[in-house]
């Protein structure tokens, strides 16, 4: 199996440039503007009314798209079988714990040696409140959700080019940016520079709102004092008893804030996908897969590598190898719902129509890597009072995410110590796994000096080197979407595709779920129409 | 026991006016600017070195201030006894569950009839990350913390005077305010209205930052499109399959945003006390009290109503009644640490010096009420996708807080359905408990029409009518603090005060903890000095 060709240079360079200069947050924002990372139109449980008359559907892939289809189609009376390449369900919705082993393209194997209870989600790791489909299935399948700490004012913004490389707390930076913005706009209003844009009545309300929002003083200035320290924090925090009086802190100048570039970290927390409330499954993202497995796991055949998909007027025949026994096998059904990533599907022999075939080959996949490091103790909580949240940095690691569970626990803890896309991801995977961990440790220690003393072990998943997906998610452009998206989603004879690649929610489980529900609804209409 | 005189009119009117026009968030902001609601200087565990030589300390009150002192003084070798009025430890750090009963001033008794697992915290209900002392003791005492959802973009901002009384989601309102602010400031910069304030180099960065932060288009406009919908949400959310293309939503005009007054709800989430990360103890705030109880509960005598505090050169004698047996009793010790709220202490006979006595009588207490309603199901989650967070309103209920635990659970749920201070709190408690619940139900149904169908039961705690505190917390002004605060905190002979009233962190448990640690450190110095 050959590695997928790299992305067209212009796209890759654009994304990697954004990734390297402004961190993963900006990467997500850019993805968003390209239609990759969005929300969900899921409105409620699917109803497939009518008699399926024993029609059979073969589902390829037991990720969330495939499992949702298995659940809903079997409920509607279809005969369902699912073929899955891995020896587990869930696909990219995956959790690594101590004892887990996996082998990447090229044969390099890694074993996770985390302590009991610790884990990393190499794939999806959070669930926005508006991913209604996924939240619905979590509720239905008994998958407990807990808050994911997306924004933590005490996490860091870090740039090697600002503040001498010293990480800055998020809170004061945001407070000072907001304060200066409000002061400047108040000045402009008071200079009558905006009389064409704002009525005098609204100007008065605007000034009142700017004072409130920006913590300005009575002269509409953002200055050192109790009001601004109540946003940015104190030089000496207030307390109890004698000598308890607080000492205000000194705001940064506008010039300092702007030249630092750290304001880039603010916008990412305001995007729809990262707004509170946002969740993670208790115990790891694979709780979602386990929930589906409890419901329809008996329909899944694991260790089944699809080698060919052929259809004719009577049905679909899928050839597959049992990866344990090496046996060559076949499965037949009236219809096939294929959720295999396009990066893989494009290499599987099939007789789909030209339009679908062209669409399958039109979508490149995002290179991406996550590195998880385990440390002896939660020094980020104990030494730095960082409880969950994300530090962003212009280092190749792009971000450090602190665990959103078991706050205050005394044992070893795991940090998502790198999560980056684009060129940096390729650079990472050009190294052997041990070396990736060593580099991550080196880079991260620029932010947390405790890294080297506290390090226990680490593991990395470079998605473009994962044999069964060869990338993190499919990348659509306005052009490819206009030309190929509809063809990718339409029923081709007896074959229908689903997955995050067949959605406007690229890279999110919700894309897989909504695409699957849409696909099986149309499949059901076809069956009902006879 | 007479009810405490009401606050001086000017102060009360100021606070109630703010409370009634802008909700509890603005109330907190006003409190903040008066030095009531702040952070903590706690730096680490207390060390009381040296031999206490068997000195004894009588602690009055088993709230967090008293319990911290009991823990640390007993560790340092002191003989410690704690007298507590209630039949439980914790004081205002209190949780009501099904079966709990309490009686307010005037004799009206209420019994909580919540379902198992449901609760309300009538007093403190959240723990900011920077309340280092409280977080320290939670860690030490095995009190598990979980995230408190303070800000939820899908909760409501509600004004009876805006949008025809229809509640608005927080997210779009904030997005539109930020977008218009950024567009206006960009206009001012591009009109060269701020050349005296911002260098041309910084102006270029400022414009770039405004585009990023405010989701402006290439013409620096905040307009309908994918970029702004990725902040404010979509008219039709993106999904998977065919017909999945998103439809952008229409931003509100600047005039609409400003005239609504709902922008007042933004600033409160930016204040230091409400910034993420913020926590609650798992299972209810009284987990904190139970943690202390496990450690030093054996030192506490419950049901002990202090009636007099007398000191001489040899020690302190405290007279108290056993509220169960009616017996008149006395306790003696070398020193007394008194954590009784000033509203109560001012009515207890004592022979403290004139300066301390004046300070004890100088601090009025905040009227405040919380109402908890239990409903048959979590309709706010199931119907409205509100998972935790707070809705603010100009109705007398001021706010509705959604539970930050057991997300997605199918059984009955409890909403903090009113939390208000000032005049509204007096109005509430002028009614019988059942009527308070009925009014809360009526008001809340303007925001959640499901209220009436789903209602099960309710309970209210009006703090100014709680016999053992007669108010929510002590209110300091700049003037009273200048005149009395130092006198309140200083050792008076053998008597020393602690509690949130002896801090710059009024109304927060951290104020009680830091004040107690400060007090016992000074007491220990005195003992060491012989």
What is the Cα–Cα distance from B263 to B253, expressed in whole angstroms?
13
**Inter-chain contact B264–A387, Cβ cutoff 8 Å?**
no
Tell me, what's the pLDDT at B243?
85
ipTM value, please give it. Answer: 0.92
Question: Pairing mode, if any, of strands A278-281 and A145-147?
Answer: antiparallel
**Inter-chain contact A388–B227, Cβ cutoff 8 Å?**
no
- Residue holding tokens 């899921």? A42
Selected for mutation to probe chain A from B129, B241, B408 (highest A CB count within 10 Å) is B241
Tell me, what's the pLDDT at B32?
40
What is the Cα–Cα distance from B22 to B160, expressed in whole angstroms?
11
Choose which CATH entry (3.90.660.10, 3.40.50.410, 3.90.110.10, 3.90.1150.200) describes domain A1-33+96-125+366-472.
Answer: 3.90.660.10
> What pLDDT digit, counting tens, does each position of B186-225 carry?
999 999 999 999 999 999 999 999 999 999 999 999 999 9
A152, A240, A273 member nearest B514 (Cβ): A240
* B266 to chain A, closest Cα gap in Å: 7
A187, A264, A512 member nearest B194 (Cβ): A187
Q: Which residues of B touch A526 (CB under 8 A)?
A: none
**Inter-chain contact A41–B237, Cβ cutoff 8 Å?**
yes
Selected for mutation to probe chain B from A171, A204, A240, A488 (highest B CB count within 10 Å) is A240
A193, A241, A277 member nearest B515 (Cβ): A241
Give the mean model confidence (pLDDT) for residues A480-486.
98
Tell me, what's the pLDDT at B22?
40
What is the Cα–Cα distance from B347 to B339, expressed in whole angstroms?
14
The two structure tokens encoding residue A41: 């139109």
Give the mean model confidence (pLDDT) for residues B115-127.
98
* Inter-CA distances, A85 with A147, A468, A469, Å: 32, 7, 11
Q: Which residues of B touch A234 (CB under 8 A)?
A: 38-39, 272
What is the Cα–Cα distance from A56 to A527, expressed in whole angstroms?
10
> What pLDDT digit, counting tens, does each position of A408-465 carry?
999 999 999 999 999 999 999 999 999 999 999 999 999 999 999 999 999 999 999 9
- Residue holding tokens 């932060």? B213
- Strand pairing partners for B418? B371
What is the Cα–Cα distance from B437 to A166, expressed in whole angstroms?
53
* B241 to chain A, closest Cα gap in Å: 4
Under 8 Å between Cβ of B173 and B157: yes
Nearest CA to B375 out of B364, B363, B362, B386 is that of B386
**Inter-chain contact B518–A177, Cβ cutoff 8 Å?**
no
Which residues of chain B does CATH 3.50.50.60 include?
Answer: 34-90+291-365+477-528
What is the Cα–Cα distance from A473 to A384, expressed in whole angstroms?
35
Q: Residue A52, CB half-sphere, CA atoms under 13 Å: how many?
A: 22
pLDDT of B9 higher than 90: no
> What pLDDT digit, counting tens, does each position of B235-269 carry?
999 999 998 999 999 999 999 999 999 999 999 99
Please list, in sequence order, all residues whose beta carbon lies within 8 angstroms of the beta carbon of residue B211, skipping any fewer than 6 positions away.
B182, B186, B220
The two structure tokens encoding residue B417: 């359905």
Tell me, what's the pLDDT at B40?
65
B206, B213, B518 member nearest A242 (Cβ): B518
Selected for mutation to probe chain A from B239, B243, B258 (highest A CB count within 10 Å) is B239
**Inter-chain contact B408–A139, Cβ cutoff 8 Å?**
yes
Confidence of residue B140 (pLDDT cuts 50, 70, 90): very high
> What pLDDT digit, counting tens, does each position of A37-61 carry?
334 677 777 888 888 888 999 999 9
**Inter-chain contact B240–A135, Cβ cutoff 8 Å?**
no
CATH number of the domain located at residue range(s) A170-274 in this protein: 1.20.1440.240
Q: What is the CA radius of gyration of chain A?
A: 26
> What pLDDT digit, counting tens, does each position of B423-481 carry?
999 999 999 999 999 999 999 999 999 999 999 999 999 999 999 999 999 999 999 99
* B328 to chain A, closest Cα gap in Å: 32
What is the Cα–Cα distance from B361 to B356, expressed in whole angstroms?
9
* A186 to chain B, closest Cα gap in Å: 9
DSSP conformation letters of A199-257:
-HHHHHHHHHHHHHHHT--TTS---SSHHHHHHH-EEE---BSTT---EEPPPPPHHHH
Confidence of residue A161 (pLDDT cuts 50, 70, 90): very high
Question: Pairing mode, if any, of strands A300-301 and A79-83?
Answer: parallel
* B436 to chain A, closest Cα gap in Å: 31
Phi, psi of B267 (to 5 degrees): -60, -35
Tell me, what's the pLDDT at A42?
76
A494 Cα distance to chain centroid: 32
Q: Which residues of A touch B502 (CB under 8 A)?
A: 240-241
Nearest CA to A508 out of A358, A366, A356 is that of A366
User: How many inter-chain contacts (A to B, CB under 8 Å) are there?
Assistant: 361
What is the Cα–Cα distance from A330 to A81, expressed in whole angstroms?
12
Tell me, what's the pLDDT at A50?
86
pLDDT of A354 higher than 70: yes
Helices within B311-455 (DSSP H only):
342-345, 354-360, 379-382, 423-429, 433-444, 451-454
**Inter-chain contact B240–A215, Cβ cutoff 8 Å?**
no
Tell me, what's the pLDDT at B294?
98
Q: Which residues of B touch A242 (CB under 8 A)?
A: 486, 489-490, 518, 522
State the fold for domain A43-86+288-364+475-528.
Answer: FAD/NAD(P)-binding domain (3.50.50)
Output DSSP code: residue A34.
T
* pTM, two decimal places: 0.92
Phi, psi of B194 (to 5 degrees): -125, 25
- Strand pairing partners for B390? B401
A33, A226, A239 member nearest B33 (Cβ): A226
Percent of chain A past pLDDT 90, that is, above it, reads 89
Q: Which residue of A has its CA nearest to B253?
A: A198
Under 8 Å between Cβ of A273 and A37: yes
Residue A336, H or E segment:
strand A335-338
Q: Which residues of A touch B258 (CB under 8 A)?
A: 202, 205-206, 209
| Torsion sign, CA atoms A230, A232, A234, A238 | positive
B244, B388, B513 member nearest A514 (Cβ): B244
Please list, in sequence order, all residues whose beta carbon lies within 8 angstroms of the beta carbon of residue B325, skipping any fewer than 6 positions away.
none
Confidence of residue A22 (pLDDT cuts 50, 70, 90): very low
Look at chain B and count its residues.
530
The two structure tokens encoding residue A435: 């070396």
A184, A237, A255 member nearest B39 (Cβ): A237
Cα A334-A335-A340 angle, rounded to 5 deg: 145
First to last CA, chain A: 39
Which residues of chain A does CATH 3.50.50.60 include?
Answer: 43-86+288-364+475-528
Selected for mutation to probe chain A from B33, B238, B257, B288 (highest A CB count within 10 Å) is B238
A188, A233, A273 member nearest B193 (Cβ): A188
What is the Cα–Cα distance from A181 to A204, expressed in whole angstroms?
17
- Strand pairing partners for A279? A127, A147
**Inter-chain contact A151–B264, Cβ cutoff 8 Å?**
no
Helix or strand or coil: residue A459? strand
Query: B34-90+291-365+477-528 falls under which CATH superfamily?
Result: FAD/NAD(P)-binding domain (3.50.50.60)
- Strand pairing partners for B369? B420, B462
> What pLDDT digit, counting tens, does each position of B488-519 carry?
999 999 999 999 999 999 999 999 999 999 99
Q: What is the CA radius of gyration of chain B?
A: 26
Which residues of chain A does CATH 3.90.660.10 include?
Answer: 1-33+96-125+366-472
Q: Which residues of B touch A259 (CB under 8 A)?
A: 202, 205
The two structure tokens encoding residue A155: 């996490």
Which residues of chain B does CATH 1.20.1440.240 include?
Answer: 169-260
Nearest CA to A489 out of A365, A342, A364, A351 is that of A342
Q: Which residues of B touch A130 (CB under 8 A)?
A: 154, 233, 237, 385
Q: Which residues of A touch B236 (CB under 8 A)?
A: 41
Average pLDDT, chain A: 92
Nearest CA to B516 out of A241, A246, A243, A245 is that of A241
Q: Which residues of A touch B128 (CB under 8 A)?
A: none
What is the Cα–Cα distance from B504 to B219, expressed in whole angstroms?
48
Give the mean model confidence (pLDDT) for residues B107-126.
97
Q: Which residues of B touch A244 (CB under 8 A)?
A: 41, 489, 503-504, 514-515, 518
Peptide bond connecting B284 to the previous residue in cis, omega within 30 degrees of 0: no
| Torsion sign, CA atoms B85, B88, B89, B92 | negative
| Torsion sign, CA atoms B69, B74, B80, B81 | positive
Q: Which residues of A touch B233 (CB under 8 A)?
A: 39, 130, 272
**Inter-chain contact A512–B237, Cβ cutoff 8 Å?**
no
**Inter-chain contact B154–A130, Cβ cutoff 8 Å?**
yes
What is the Cα–Cα distance from A322 to A306, expressed in whole angstroms?
9
Which residues of chain A does CATH 1.20.1440.240 include?
Answer: 170-274
**Inter-chain contact A258–B205, Cβ cutoff 8 Å?**
yes
What is the Cα–Cα distance from B196 to A34, expressed in whole angstroms?
38
Under 8 Å between Cβ of B443 and B376: no
Compute how many other C-beta atoms are within 10 angstroms of the C-beta atom of residue B53.
11
pLDDT of B50 higher than 60: yes
* A188 to chain B, closest Cα gap in Å: 6
What is the Cα–Cα distance from B252 to B180, expressed in whole angstroms?
9
Tell me, what's the pLDDT at A392?
97
> What pLDDT digit, counting tens, does each position of B67-78 carry?
999 999 999 999
Is 3.40.50.720 the CATH classification of the domain at B169-260? no
Confidence of residue B402 (pLDDT cuts 50, 70, 90): very high
DSSP conformation letters of B230-282:
HHH-EEE---BSTT---EEPPPPPHHHHHHH-TTHHHHGGGSGGGSSSEEEET
pLDDT of B412 higher than 80: yes
Give the mean model confidence (pLDDT) for residues A118-124.
98
Please list, in sequence order, all residues whose beta carbon lies within 8 angstroms of the beta carbon of residue B230, skipping any fewer than 6 positions away.
A32, A33, A38, A271, A272, A273, B215
Nearest CA to A59 out of A300, A297, A352, A314 is that of A300
**Inter-chain contact A240–B187, Cβ cutoff 8 Å?**
no
Q: Which residue of B has its CA nearest to A175?
A: B270
Please list, in sequence order, all residues whose beta carbon lies within 8 angstroms of the beta carbon of residue A268, skipping any fewer than 6 positions away.
A25, A26, A28, A29, A274, A392
What is the Cα–Cα distance from A190 to A184, expressed in whole angstroms?
10
Q: Which residues of A touch B185 (CB under 8 A)?
A: 181, 184-185, 188
What is the Cα–Cα distance from B239 to A131, expressed in whole angstroms?
10
Confidence of residue B53 (pLDDT cuts 50, 70, 90): confident
Nearest CA to B104 out of B472, B474, B461 is that of B461
Tell me, what's the pLDDT at A9?
33
Choice among A1-5, A38-42, A392-396, B389-393 with the minimum mean pLDDT: A1-5
> What pLDDT digit, counting tens, does each position of A8-17 carry?
334 344 344 3
Count the helices and strands in chain B (H runs, E runs): 18, 25
Q: Which residues of B touch A490 (CB under 8 A)?
A: 242
SS3 sequence of A79-116: EEEEECCCCCCECCCCCEECCCEEECCCCCEEECCCCC
What is the Cα–Cα distance from B234 to B237, expressed in whole angstroms?
5
B129, B277, B408 member nearest A145 (Cβ): B408
The two structure tokens encoding residue A327: 């046996």
Tell me, what's the pLDDT at B45?
73
């Amino acid at each position: 199996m050959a590695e997928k060709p790299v992305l067209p240079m212009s796209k890759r360079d654009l994304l990697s440039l954004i990734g390297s200069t402004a961190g993963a947050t900006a990467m997500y924002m850019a993805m968003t503007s390209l239609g990759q990372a969005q929300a969900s139109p899921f409105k409620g449980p699917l109803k497939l009314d009518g008699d399926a008359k024993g029609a059979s559907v073969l589902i390829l892939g037991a990720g969330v798209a495939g499992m949702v289809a298995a659940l809903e189609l079997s409920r509607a009376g279809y005969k369902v079988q699912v073929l899955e390449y891995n020896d587990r369900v869930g696909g990219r919705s995956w959790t690594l714990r101590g004892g887990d082993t996996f082998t990447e393209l090229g044969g390099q194997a890694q074993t996770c040696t985390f302590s009991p209870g610790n884990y990393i989600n190499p794939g999806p790791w959070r669930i926005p409140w508006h991913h209604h489909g996924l939240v619905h299935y979590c509720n239905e399948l008994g998958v407990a959700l807990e808050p994911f700490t997306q924004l933590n004012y005490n996490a860091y913004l870090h740039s090697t080019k600002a503040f001498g490389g010293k990480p800055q707390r998020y809170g004061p930076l945001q407070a000072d940016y907001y304060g200066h913005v409000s002061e400047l706009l108040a000045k402009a209003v008071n200079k009558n520079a905006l009389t064409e844009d704002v009525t005098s009545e609204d100007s008065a309300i605007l000034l009142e709102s700017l004072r409130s929002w920006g913590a300005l003083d009575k002269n509409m200035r953002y200055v050192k004092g109790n009001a601004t320290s109540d946003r940015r924090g104190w030089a000496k925090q207030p307390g109890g008893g004698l000598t308890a009086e607080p000492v205000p802190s000194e705001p940064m100048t506008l010039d300092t804030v702007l030249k630092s570039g750290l304001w880039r970290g603010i916008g990412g927390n305001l995007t729809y996908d990262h707004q509170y409330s946002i969740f993670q499954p208790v115990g790891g993202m694979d709780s979602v897969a386990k929930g589906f497995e409890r419901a329809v796991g008996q329909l899944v055949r694991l260790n089944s590598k699809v080698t060919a998909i052929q259809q004719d007027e009577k049905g679909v025949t899928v050839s597959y190898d049992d990866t344990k026994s090496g046996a060559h096998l076949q499965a037949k059904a009236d219809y096939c719902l294929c959720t295999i990533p396009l990066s893989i599907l494009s290499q599987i022999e099939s007789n789909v129509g030209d339009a679908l075939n062209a669409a399958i080959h039109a979508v490149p996949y995002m290179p991406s890597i996550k590195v998880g490091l385990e440390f002896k103790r939660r020094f980020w909580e104990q030494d730095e009072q960082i409880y969950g949240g994300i530090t962003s940095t212009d280092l190749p690691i792009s971000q450090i995410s602190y665990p959103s569970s078991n706050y205050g626990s005394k044992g070893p803890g795991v940090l998502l110590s790198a999560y980056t896309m684009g060129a940096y991801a390729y650079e990472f995977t050009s190294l052997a796994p041990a070396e990736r961990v060593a580099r991550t440790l080196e880079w991260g220690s620029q932010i947390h000096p405790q890294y080297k003393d506290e390090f226990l072990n680490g593991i990395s998943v470079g998605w473009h080197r994962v044999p069964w997906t060869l990338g993190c998610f499919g990348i659509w452009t306005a052009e490819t979407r206009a030309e190929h998206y509809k063809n990718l989603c339409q029923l081709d004879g007896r074959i229908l595709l689903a997955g995050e690649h067949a959605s406007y929610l690229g890279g999110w489980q919700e894309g897989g779920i909504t695409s699957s529900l849409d696909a099986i609804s149309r499949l059901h209409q076809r069956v009902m129409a006879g």
